[in-house]
Structure 1
Amino acid sequence: MKIDAAATAPRTDGAGNIEILTAAAECFTEQGFHASSIDDVARRLGATKGRVYHYYRSKTDLFFDVHREGMRRNFDAVRPAMKLPGTGAVRLAHMLRHHALSMMENLAFETVVVQGVHMHRLGATTPAQRRTLAELMTIRNDFEALFKGVAYEGVEDGSLRIPDVSIAIKAALGAINWIAVWYRPRLGETRDDREILAEKLVDTQMSGLAART
């Protein structure tokens, strides 16, 4: 079942509280899910843990909404690139580049997205939590489907040479998502620096996918 992109939006209880999500994402990134607590999130906020509990009943619920917010940012970054002019190969490169920039500029959130995959694989959760993780994985699959659709168009217009689109896109996205593991911003790093890095990463991926002329 396909989940609409609106489902990626975190619960906001009418007013929203991105500050809580940001503080939680930073805690989960720096300490890991199991070592982080609601107290840690509250301390980072400079607030009482009652403020966090007003929105979230548990650390796991908070983790899930950080994951949703990370995916929402990914969708927002990639969708405009899909509509740019050019062949399937050109648009796929734009999408991967925008995704790489989103990974770097939303690093704490995207690290939680990666952690969420591991939680799903391990399955060490309650049935209700597994259902939520399954929903989040469906959202991730929908995100992957955006890239597959453009890749198929590239195969049809001759700009891409891909024997198996599904495997190729999983490999390309895996390389970009791995940014969450190895990338850390350097002191004084600028947007231009990140764009150069994104370009290098995507050029490496596209060199194996583009049709030879």
Structure 2
Amino acid sequence: MLAEMNKSQLEIVEAAADCFANYGADAVSIDDIARHLNATKGRIYHHFRSKSELLCAVRMRSVSLMYDQIAPIVARASDPLDAMKQMAFTHVQLILGHHSYHRVVSEDFRVFFNRSTTPDERRQIEEIIEKRTAYEELFRGVIQKGMDSGVFAKRPISLTVHSLITLLNSPSIWYSPRPGQTQDDRDAIAHDLAAMALGALGVKV
């Protein structure tokens, strides 16, 4: 699977994410990524056959980082309000802490999907979509449980899930890491956005 990477592959994907986020995937070449990594193109091609495959790896890494942290929260939390507080806060923390990955994903996914033509590229993208859907289902389950118990306002579930995740994803667009910014500063942003998310669910915070 795309999510299963060794140390060398992960270093390449980290470099690719930085390049794609800073300059745009269309403008970046394998040469650019190699220079950023201070490596040869041969090292990259040893693990990834094309820029498109690297872009898939960046996108899969983004959603896997989220899923791997949020799924345990859902598994151990019995109260939907407590679960959502942790989920929202953790989601934003991951956006801020791995900003390059999520900035790449904030680009139009449909354009990315439609421009891929080979069966292998399409298989990789379907894998990403499957993982992203599984991640959304974690939120759907907790939100539905909260609506059923009266903790969250009853609204159309799909509209609520997609709108909430869009809100929590928003730092991928407007956030820029600043010199001297501390973990406490990032935590404050995560706390504020988590509070906004709970407010959108009808919780008084």
TM-score by length of 1: 0.87
**1:67/1:109 contact within 8 Å kept:** yes
Residues 8-157 of structure 1 mapped to structure 2, 5 A cutoff:
9-12=3-6, 16-85=8-77, 87-115=79-107, 117-120=109-112, 123-128=114-119, 129-157=121-149
TM-aligned CA distance change 1:191 to 1:88, over 3 Å:
same
Give the deviation of 1:40 after TM superposition.
0.6
Choose from 158, 167, 171 the match for 2:159: 167
Runs (5+) with no aligned partner, structure 1:
1-6
Give the deviation of 1:72 after TM superposition.
1.2
Identity %: 30
- Identify the range of structure 1 (77-86 vs 66-75) with the bigger mean alpha-carbon deviation: 77-86
d(CA) in 2 for partners of 1:169, 1:93: 15
**1:8/1:72 contact within 8 Å kept:** no
Give the AA of the match of 2:128. L
Choose from 177, 181, 197 the match for 1:189: 181
Deviations 1:56-78 (A, max 9, x none): 11000111111111111111221
Give the AA of the match of 2:177. P
Tell me the SS of whatever aligns to 1:126: coil
d(CA) in 1 for partners of 2:189, 2:95: 12
- Identify the range of structure 1 (143-152 vs 158-167) with the bigger mean alpha-carbon deviation: 158-167
Runs (5+) with no aligned partner, structure 2:
none
d(CA) in 2 for partners of 1:185, 1:66: 19
Cα RMSD of the aligned pairs, angstroms, is: 1.9
Give the deviation of 1:44 after TM superposition.
0.7
**1:117/1:137 contact within 8 Å kept:** no
**2:164/2:200 contact within 8 Å kept:** no
Give the deviation of 1:204 after TM superposition.
1.3
**1:81/1:95 contact within 8 Å kept:** yes
- Identify the range of structure 1 (21-30 vs 160-169) with the bigger mean alpha-carbon deviation: 160-169
TM-aligned CA distance change 1:201 to 1:211, over 3 Å:
closer
**1:87/1:157 contact within 8 Å kept:** no
**2:19/2:28 contact within 8 Å kept:** yes
d(CA) in 1 for partners of 2:4, 2:104: 14
Deviations 1:9-33 (A, max 9, x none): 1454xx6521101000000001111
